[in-house]
Structure 1
Amino acid sequence: MNNLSNQVAFIKEIDKLKYIQRKTRLFNSDRHENDAEHSWHLAMMTIVLAEHSNKPVDVLKVLKMVLIHDIVEIDAGDTFIYDTSKSHTNTEEEFLAAQRIFGLLPAEQGQEFIAIWSEFEEGLTEEAKFARSMDRFEPLLQNTSNDGGTWKEYNVGYQQVYDKKIAIKDGSEQIWKYAEDLIDESVEKGILKK
């Protein structure tokens, strides 16, 4: 029964993810996406797009990664990918958040979640590469649907977008080709400055 109590405490805690606002907006909308919506969308994208991964991946593991990866933002907050004043790499703040939040779970389960979160952050395995490609692809789709979205709002240029989005290629060269075409089309449409 103690395991169940700990798991329920974790489930209640992660409800806070619904309140973490991202800079990106929903498709064709002015409403900002929250982290829970983002994670759900990445999970659906993983199921739908897994066949395009560069190498076969364990889809369940990728799903765990995309659902877990932003939970640390309950404590650490969301860092905008184009923020130049704060590093977007794994921080001590995020690690402490992972320990606290996943520490609510029974020990073995908590350790598994920290390991999955760490694997995503390191980005070295095929599963992590594909999960990270989904994480980079979704906001690109949102910004192209919103007439430039955060690119226009925060004066983000072509090279910044290209440099951040090329990571998609590590998980899927096919999706990267599609994304690269979208970036180029965005320049042609005038919604992304070159």
Structure 2
Amino acid sequence: MLSEKLLKQIDFIKEIDKIKYIQRKTKLFNSDRNENDAEHSWHLAVMAIVLAEHSDSDIDVLKVVKMVLIHDVVEIDAGDTFIYDTQKNHSNTDEERLAANRIFGLLPQEQAEEFIKIWEEFEAGETNEAKFAKAMDRLEPLLQNTSNNGGTWSEFGVTYDKVYEKKIAIKEGSSSIWNYAEKLIDDSVQKGILKK
């Protein structure tokens, strides 16, 4: 006989398949195809593993990987909010909280509580792990936009000031990665793919 715990875990696994349908504004590297949330989360997880040595603080890499893999699961219900959206705030919303409770609530209680706690930690951005996870989350679209001649910056008229304001969060997780990111931003201005 199958355990109730296993059945709940399988229900959750089936539900999160929907993340593959959540389209982001950013496009894949050197491409005109939009990335989906599943691709984004996978890429961040690999980035976190590869770049962990550049964290300014000691971090639990597995915890960072968990954060980046589940941080956008709430978008199954709440949808993706473009980081440069001028109408809706990109920070934690009531819709995301409801989504976290519903989707993670499909899991057995202990796992549900763990996932909600990890999601909340990422959103708060205060721990070393959350700072590094957020650094990865801000770095990936920067790399994409620079590979796409400005990508969403050009498409949506995003200026240098807005990019700098959002990307400086990288510095909280890694000063060396921030130095690289800041150079990419400056180079993008020099190349004319990011307007001052």
- Does the TM-score normalized on the shorter chain lie above 0.5? yes
| 1:143 matched residue in structure 2 | 145
Corresponding residue of 2:36: 34
SS of 1:33's equivalent in the other structure is strand
Aligned length: 194
The AA in structure 2 aligned to 1:82 is Y
4+ runs of 1 displaced by more than 3 Å?
A: none
In the alignment, residue 29 of structure 1 is paired with which amino acid?
S
The residue number in structure 2 matching 1:90 is: 92
2:23 aligns to what?
21
1:163-182 alignment runs, 5 A limit: 163-182=165-184
Deviation of 1:181 after TM superposition, in Å, equals 0.1
Q: Which runs of 5 or more residues in structure 2 are unaligned? A: none
Query: SS where residue 104 of structure 1 aligns?
Result: coil
**Equivalent position amino acid for 1:119 in 2:** E
TM-score between the two structures when normalised by the length of structure 1: 1.00
Tell me the TM-score normalized by structure 2: 0.99
Partner of 2:8: 6
Aligned pair 1:134/2:136, yes or no?
Answer: yes
Q: Which amino acid aligns with 1:8?
A: I
SS at match of 1:24: strand
- Percent of aligned positions that are identical: 74
| Cα RMSD (Å) | 0.3
In structure 2, the residue matched to 1:66 is 68
AA aligned to 1:155 is G
- Matched to 1:101, the amino acid is I
1:56 is displaced (CA, Å) by: 1.1
Q: How does 1:94-109 map to 2 (within 5 A)?
A: 94-109=96-111
Distance (Å, rounded) in 2 between the aligned partners of 1:188 and 1:122: 34
Deviations 1:42-99 (A, max 9, x none): 0000000000001010000000000010000000000000001001111111000000
